[in-house]
Amino acid sequence: TNSVPLSVGDPMVCILGSGDFSRSLSSRLRCCGCRVVVGSRDPQRLPPGLFPEGVELKTQRGALEGKGSLVFLALYPEHYPSLLTLRPLLSGRILVDVSNASSLKQEGLSNAQRLAQMFPCSSVVKGFNGLSAWTLLTGAYDHSRQVSNELSVLALAQRLGFGAVDVGGLSASRALEEAPLLLFPSWRGPLLTTMLLFSFFYLYIALKNVLMPFLDRAENNLHHLPLITVNQALPAVALVMLSLVYMPGLLASVLQLYRGTKYKRFPDWLDQWMCARKQLGLLSFLCAALHAVYSVCLSIRRASGYMILNAAYQQVKAGVVDSWVETQVWRSDLYLSSGILGLGVLCVLALTSLPSVGQALNWREFTFVQSGLGYTSLVLSVAHVLFFGWDFAFLPRAYQYYLPPVFLLSLVLPCCVLIGRFLLLLPCCSVPLNRIRRGWESKQNKPERERQENGAVFGDV
Ligand SMILES: NC(=O)C1=CN([C@@H]2O[C@H](COP(=O)(O)OP(=O)(O)OC[C@H]3O[C@@H](n4cnc5c(N)ncnc54)[C@H](OP(=O)(O)O)[C@@H]3O)[C@@H](O)[C@H]2O)C=CC1
Ligand SMILES: [Cu+2]
């Protein structure tokens, strides 16, 4: 690590503990021109060269005897009580608690709150705990959220190149301590939904296409299981998920219409569902993309080679010269094209859900993309299924190979959503809904508001 020469005016930072976090933090601090003193229970024990050049190694007491108001506690919270003997030296200083929770939903006070109780004469700041030792060492930039409005710690984090955010008092420390333990919290519900839907469709199709033909006619379709069945379940999941993205918005509109106001909270389940739309949409995109890749691979399967050869042989034996069927040609071209277009539009949607892309759009552009393009892709996907199934659904023989129930399920929801959306666009719904959304329903402030927003009404509706 290249160290910056010491100068007297540099801020002095003390770190208690000599573990991984302490080492990484001291390197980073040195690189950014801070003076660092590390306090260890036993500085003699530490091998030379463990800490970067310029970092002073002392006993805990020795480190605290120097100046510097900032003290980082790079210890596990179990060991905080061992610092109680240093209480006089720590009083009046800022203690930065970098610890994380050991498990979720612990009872009682958070680590930082307990520390504050132990050292009532020091001010405790929670922060830096979301950064890994690796981030600190490699110079990667990340956000360090912290609580307690202690400007010197904010300034220090900024000096280290982190975007620091002040999130309030120590009572907010629990959420910060638990944050590194969470495993994709916002993805749990959507992932579970995807998995349940996939299992349902997969099992149903396997039952219908593999097990039933076997029991009925001793037909061996077991080879469908790894690819064909998966590829039939995936589009159904993708369509249902895409409908689930747009359904809560419709329900919310209906609820607002029914209540006649937007100033009432939605029920919790609807709130949570609304918040999961992005994840549901991305998972729908994943299923659709997988379906596309699977479908492209259908023709390179061994089985399809054999099937073409067998069909060709049958055809030669039967003396058929030309087996071109015009309707089948149209059918396949139409369903392929609408499917590809639908996936393309979904791609754009997925891209705009990336925070960096989404932030570059203004609100109107964002809703145009998310709502306008979203419904377009829903229409295209529905067209894809309809074109695909136009003969299957109505011919009794094919009934055994494709499944009207799955076919229907993956169509009923999207069609309901599309019809609902269409109904809400009718003036009898859209006009009152717009009034509600603009907050015009309350009598007292009506004239004032109307004057203010008149200009925008026609452009926006
Ligand atoms: N490592 C990481 O990536 C991150 C760590 N953190 C937090 O930083 C804190 C320290 O983590 P880390 O550096 O990885 O841990 P380490 O185990 O590497 O270091 C802990 C240090 O605590 C001191 N210590 C050990 N046992 C005792 C004891 N019985 N009594 C007093 N002091 C003791 C030791 O220092 P000495 O022997 O010199 O006294 C030791 O070096 C933890 O609270 C952790 O949650 C937060 C974010 C990321
Ligand atoms: Cu398809």
Please indicate, yes or no, whether residues 73 and 153 belong to a single structural domain of this protein.
yes
Instruction: Tell me how crowded residue 207 is: count the other CB atoms within 10 A of its CB.
Output: 11
- CA–CA dist 38, 30 (Å, integer): 12
Question: Does the Cβ of 40 fall within 6 Å of ligand 1?
Answer: yes
Per DSSP, 370 falls in state I
Cβ atoms < 10 Å from Cβ of 162: 24
- Domain-embedded: residue 454: no
In ligand 1, the atom with minimum distance to the C-alpha of 73 is 9
Q: What is the reported pLDDT for 412? A: 85
Alpha carbons 104 and 102: distance in angstroms, whole number: 7
- Number of structural domains (the chain) is 2
Residue 34 sits in a domain whose CATH number is 3.40.50.720
Assess whether 155 and 233 both reside in one domain: no
Do 165 and 305 fall within a single domain?
no
Would you tell me how many other CB atoms lie within 10 Å of the CB of residue 33? 15
Q: Is 143 helix (H, G, I), strand (E, B) or coil?
A: strand
352 and 402 together in one domain: yes
DSSP letter for 82, please. G
147 and 221, same structural domain?
Answer: no
Q: In this structure, is residue 457 part of a structural domain?
A: no
Phi and psi torsions of 56, nearest 5°: -80, 135
Burial class (CB in 10 A: 0-12, 13-18, 19+), 73: buried
Ligand 2 midpoint to CA 307 (Å)? 21
**Would residue 447 count as lying in a domain?**
no
- The answer to the question of residue 6 being in a domain is no
Report the residue among 15, 76, 115 best suited for mutation to probe ligand 1: largest number of ligand atoms under 8 A from its CB.
76
83 CA from centroid of ligand 1 (Å): 13
Give me the domain span that covers residue 25.
Answer: 12-181
In this predicted structure, what is the pLDDT of residue 115? 94
Q: What is the CATH number of the domain that holds 381?
A: 1.20.120
Q: Which of 181, 201, 223 is the last residue of a domain?
A: 181
Query: Residue 174 corresponds to which tokens in the numbers above?
Result: 């629990």
Q: What is the reported pLDDT for 4?
A: 40
**Is the shortest distance between the CB of 132 and ligand 1 below 6 Å?**
yes
Contact 19 CB / ligand 1 (< 6 Å): yes
Q: Is residue 448 part of a domain?
A: no
- Ligand 1 pocket residue status of 100, Cβ below 6 Å: yes
> Half-sphere exposure of residue 285, counting CA atoms within 13 Å on the CB side?
18
What is d(CA 408, CA 239) in angstroms, rounded to the nearest whole number? 11
Kindly give the confidence (pLDDT) of every residue in the chain, 461 residues in length, as a single tens digit, with 9 standing for 90 and above: 333 444 445 578 999 999 889 998 998 888 877 889 999 999 998 888 888 888 999 999 999 988 888 999 999 999 999 999 999 999 999 999 999 888 887 788 999 999 999 999 999 998 888 887 777 776 655 556 666 556 678 888 888 878 777 776 787 788 788 878 877 888 999 999 999 999 999 998 898 888 988 888 888 989 999 999 999 999 999 999 999 999 999 999 999 888 887 777 788 899 889 889 999 999 999 999 999 999 999 989 999 999 999 999 999 999 988 888 888 888 889 999 999 999 999 999 999 888 888 778 887 888 888 888 999 999 999 999 888 876 654 444 444 455 566 766 778 889 999 999 999 988 888 888 888 777 665 444 444 444 444 333 332 32
Residues 92 and 163 in one domain: yes
Residue 66 contacts residue 12 (beta carbons within 8 Å): yes
82 alpha carbon, closest ligand: 1
User: SS3 for 57?
Assistant: strand
Question: If DSSP codes are grouped into helix, strand and coil, which group holds residue 14?
Answer: strand
Please tell me the predicted confidence (pLDDT) of residue 143: 56
What integer pLDDT is reported at residue 140 of this predicted model? Answer: 58
Whether 366 is in a domain gets the answer yes
- In-domain check, residue 386: yes
Relative orientation angle of helices 188-206 and 277-298, to the nearest 10 degrees? 40
Looking at this predicted complex, what is its ipTM? 0.94
pLDDT (0 to 100) of residue 287: 97
pTM for this structure? 0.70
Report the Cα–Cα distance between both ends of the chain, in Å, rounded.
60
